[in-house]
Structure 1
């Protein structure tokens, strides 16, 4: 068996080869156990407010009772949530799931066009929205099947006098809440109050029911809803918690959740995995405010933090971050995009903790591969397949490739989605007849079962017939002390078909294109050298901080 799965021989001590995806009957089953064991412990904190596991239980129960008792929603109906990280988010998630309904996580930065597509495609019956984004909902509501809008303010659960002050400042001082009118909308607090008057009926939830419709692929075309079942989510929670369980302590973890809960990484890795440990999630509403973020970090003693490369890089470049108390920090997990060596090495130097890279997709709930928690230094790999997971490299014809060869990474396991919502053709294209999910990432496996991402299939640059992988070029350029951020893309070239272009945000304003090219000549083969170097004040990014190479590629060529 280990011949086909060489990674098993390299699992850290105490990590099992398989997990039981049926230990819990559903995602709410995980919450119920946490409530029974940790009722008085803090579950979530945000902007100075905290709710315990017992309070999360009571409020999510009341919200579930409102959805079923007042709105008369039926099992399987979809409820959209459109908020950044705040205390209302976990209450809403668990309320929807306890009611036997499906959560449609919605990016609050969506334009009306993007929101309309997601609400229409999912057929959402209700939406919970933060006041800041109410205007966008107002603009699309008439085109959707949404029967009820539930609204809330960022300060609504922060108590008196802080809550009203937060809401006043956001609306009248910072002007962050545009006026909107939605007839028949109800406030979240009122919905919970109404729900408290109903009993919560016993809802039969099976592992095969859809827990989340998680939209993906918006940067590559029309966003598709990945159907993530309770089995998918419970399995991935079991896989990740088995992986980190050797050094995570029950009832003692404080994890910083800066990535939004509407993103699959934070949803599973922070909200669900740490719930199993009775962990305390410290929610960051606006991680882009780096000075504010660092100030918050100084007020807590975190044990764990997850993020993407740009988030860690941003923290390292914010004054005061080196004065944060890292004495309890034992877990830093990076995913969502490639972790750069320069960032990982500086993180270790500053915090004393290894930045462990993981790999996953929305379609795998998300964790597929994680590096051992015992990793001493950054190793450039995405890690080993997690328990009960198979991974392989396939060629363009679907044949498995030998170890060391570069091909498409494919994943199989209980965390792989049921399919794309109402898109059987897309599902058939993504998941082959043998159950392998084709990731679209080019990768290779070494003799020990570690996988290395070479790049996205579609981001690959072809220079005179040679493959150039942007990640490699970016890693090399990021090593320069004067570089804050970098993206590499292919641009048309008469001689070579494509040439490499790098777009750089400088840390040192005196950095020149010639210095960048000289550094590349020392570290990269000729055809990988950037032919074009452009400096900008910022790079286009998704709301989670992933750099959008596609947007750079699609721009009209600059002279």
Structure 2
């Protein structure tokens, strides 16, 4: 695609490009905000507000502590925590010290954690005590020499003592562990006298984050995100959201719901860093799977932005406590991570008045690459158009651009695209084209207006008697059926057709029957797209971010 047809779809005021050089680093961006917004609330957590000034002070102390351990510029430090104020404090400290953030999923098994710590070469880890037992089982096999141990109540003052008692002794959420030499988070702050901090020179091309991919195509790989990559994506996202976020009344602080985990690049950039840039407040939700607790927390706040995944939108919209929350100030709901189903999008719009703008991106693109205009009022079924400064095209298996109307692999070019995979030049070469495009592994089509639509990942495609079937299409149709809460389609071996379609359904209504689903599919899907097997489950297996684990559904025959 030599020109950019999508620019004509941009809302008024959204620029074609952004100045990715506006900040020399994420540290420069953060320190500007620490100065401008010192008295504002940066994070709200369990009823306690944490100001920008506190994040500034505490992160400077922690940065001094990390430097005092002998860590030097470019060393990697892992963070393994749920959404709590210690997370952004740790991120700011690591980056200010010239070190590299390694985001770790707190629900990792010892085997997965060991792989990531070894692969990244992390010398230190900042971890919440709830997962100390996991670290204990693998730390000997890793390069980690320093452990900073956080507790849920660290930033809550006196209330924190009660929170820690409940977490440890009432809910028994901290299994026994032994980590000799580990230093408590608050003790590390005390030891890191701010006067000892020496600010290193950080350039746009220095590594900021190693963001490990989910490993769906094999071993988990670290996407190398430079300071300039994440800065660019923050500025792209800010420009994209501006048409609606600029309508927040004067004097009202822009506020975002942070229910996605901060270790995931979507929340890292679009919640934490974007809020930092705009002087916004983030409402930290430590466990979004507890829908009742999430809604109870949201009922205490006025908020404007809600990035989430399809499963969270669906869970909240179908929850009996949904109407206890004031949704009328919501300006933008961004859906990402996985396809937003039309049934969920319609329900969300009906109940909140705010449409879900589906976006698209990957760990390798910091993550946002495209999005629907935030001014749109209807579900498009597409991933929208490329963000400012971003180019996208569709390639065939030989790397040639396909004609308009044909499906091809989505390739992305822009200032947010990673430098490569950590210490894997072969893997980097496999996904990067000679002209600088990243090959996503997702199959898409594009229309003449520049709107892209994913028809699926290469590996998820089901081939029935030679016909290509895309699970997203089946799921989108079935999700609109009355009585269906969630569904997922996968391919299973079939002697007659090569592959058959298995549909797994979570009921919203107990009266829903298999026959009703078959009749509905018969009315809405051509013969080869109709499911051969229909299975009911209480819930779909998902990653902690909310992506459906199709592999598990395939393997469970």
TM-score by length of 2: 0.98
Q: 344-353 vs 322-331, which deviates more?
A: 322-331
Work out whether 1:165 is the aligned partner of 2:162. yes
> Which structure 2 residues correspond to residues 268-307 of structure 1 after superposition, within 5 A?
268-307=269-308
The CA deviation string for residues 353-402 of structure 1, in whole angstroms up to 9 with x for no partner, is 01110000000000000110110111111011001111001111111011
Q: Mean alpha-carbon deviation: is it higher for 427-436 or for 242-251?
A: 242-251
Q: Which moved more, 1:437-446 or 1:504-513?
A: 504-513
Greater shift, 56-65 or 192-201, is seen at: 192-201
Q: Would you say 1:493 and 2:490 are equivalent positions? A: no
Q: For residues 292-316 of structure 1, what are the alpha-carbon distances to aligned partners after superposition, in whole Å with 9 as ceiling and x for unaligned?
A: 1111111111111110000000001
SS in 2 for 1:295: helix
Q: What's the CA shift for 1:96? A: 0.2
- SS in structure 1 of the partner of residue 328 of structure 2: coil
What is aligned with 2:123? 125
Match of 2:229 in 1: 232
Runs of 4+ in 1 over 6 A off after TM superposition: none
C-alpha distance in structure 1 between counterparts of 2:323 and 2:166, whole Å: 31
Question: Does the 8 Å CA contact 2:486/2:507 hold for their aligned counterparts?
Answer: yes
The residue number in structure 2 matching 1:391 is 392
For the structure 1 residues 114 and 86, does the alpha-carbon distance in structure 2 shift closer, same or farther, using more than 3 Å as the test? same
3-state SS, counterpart of residue 102 of structure 2 = strand
Write out per-residue CA displacement over residues 220-246 of structure 1, whole angstroms, 9 at most, x where no aligned residue. Answer: 321000000001101111111111122
Answer yes or no: is the 8 Å Cα contact 2:243–2:375 preserved in 1.
no
3-state SS, counterpart of residue 29 of structure 1? helix
Q: What is the Cα deviation at residue 500 of structure 1? A: 0.9
1:197 to partner: Cα distance: 5.2
Is the contact made by 1:66 and 1:198 (CA closer than 8 Å) also made in structure 2?
no
Cα deviation code 1:250-275 (max 9, x no counterpart) = 87211000000000000001111121
Equivalent residue for 1:174, pick from 168, 171, 174 = 171
Distance 1:451 1:313 in 2: 23
- CA–CA distance in 1 between the matches of 2:36 and 2:242? 17
Secondary structure in 2 matching 1:184: coil
**What is the root-mean-square deviation of aligned Cα atoms in Å?**
1.1
CA distance in 2, matches of 1:197, 1:44: 22
User: Would the aligned equivalents of 1:322 and 1:351 in 2 still touch at CA under 8 Å?
Assistant: no
Paired residue for 1:550?
551
Q: Per-residue CA shift, 1:509-557, capped at 9, x if unaligned?
A: 22211111110011111110011101111111000111010121123x2
Aligned partners of 1:344 and 1:354 also within 8 Å: yes
**Is 1:346 the equivalent of 2:344?**
no
Partner residue of 2:329? Answer: 328
Match of 1:214 in 2: 211
Shift of 1:3: 6.4
User: Does the 8 Å contact 1:125/1:146 carry over to 2?
Assistant: yes
Query: Which stretch of the first structure deviates more once superposed, 107-116 or 317-326?
Result: 317-326
Distance 2:298 2:118 in 1: 39
Which residue is equivalent to 1:30?
A: 29
- Which residue of the other structure, out of 72, 75, 87, is the alignment partner of 1:74? 72
Residue by residue over 1:189-246, the C-alpha shift from the partner in whole angstroms, topping out at 9 and shown as x without a partner, is: 1111111254221201111111000000323321000000001101111111111122
Write out per-residue CA displacement over residues 105-135 of structure 1, whole angstroms, 9 at most, x where no aligned residue. 0000000000000001001010011010001
Of 181, 186, 191, the match for 1:184: 181
Note the 1:371-386 alignment, pairs <5 A.
Answer: 371-386=372-387
Instruction: Measure the CA separation in 1 of the matches of 2:390 and 2:167.
Output: 45
Matches within 5 A, 1:100-115: 100-115=98-113
SS of residue in 1 equivalent to 2:359: strand
Q: State whether residues 20 and 231 of structure 2, in contact with CA within 8 Å, keep that contact through their aligned partners in structure 1.
A: yes
**d(CA) in 1 for partners of 2:305 and 2:437?**
32
- In the alignment, is the contact (CA less than 8 A) between 1:101 and 1:211 conserved in 2? yes
The residue that corresponds to 1:406 in the other structure is: 407
Instruction: Give the match for residue 243 of structure 1.
Output: 240
TM-score (norm 1): 0.97
Match of 1:503 in 2: 504
Q: How does 1:401-550 map to 2 (within 5 A)?
A: 401-550=402-551
Structure-1 separation of matches of 2:341 and 2:360? 14
Cα displacement (A) at 1:39: 1.0
Alignment of 1:43-54 (within 5 A): 43-54=42-53
1:196 counterpart = 2:196: no
Q: Point out where structure 1 has 5 or more consecutive residues left out of the alignment.
A: none
Structure 2 equivalent of residue 39 of structure 1: 38
Q: For this pair of structures, how many residues does the alignment match?
A: 553
> Aligned partners of 2:27, 2:117: CA distance in 1, in Å?
24
* Structure 2 unaligned blocks of 5 or more: none
Confirm or deny that 1:56 pairs with 2:60: no
Partner of 2:97: 99
Deviates more, 1:363-372 or 1:501-510: 501-510
Q: Could you tell me how far apart the structure 1 residues matched to 2:323 and 2:350 are?
A: 10
Q: CA deviation at 1:74?
A: 0.6
**Rounded Cα–Cα distance in structure 1 between residues aligned with 2:336 and 2:238:** 16
Change (3 A) 1:3 1:127: closer
1:463-502 CA-to-partner distances (Å, cap 9, x unmatched) read 1111100000001111112111111000111111111110
Distance 1:87 1:58 in 2: 13
DSSP 3-state at the match of 1:245: helix
Conserved 8 A contact 1:309-1:337: yes
**The 10-residue stretch of structure 1 (250-259 or 289-298) with the greater mean CA deviation from structure 2:** 250-259
Query: Whole-Å Cα distance in 1 between the matches of residues 187 and 93 of structure 2?
Result: 14
SS at match of 1:50: strand
Is 1:256–1:305's contact at 8 Å kept on the other side of the alignment? yes
- Supply the distance in 1 between the matched residues of 2:301 and 2:135 (Cα, whole angstroms): 35
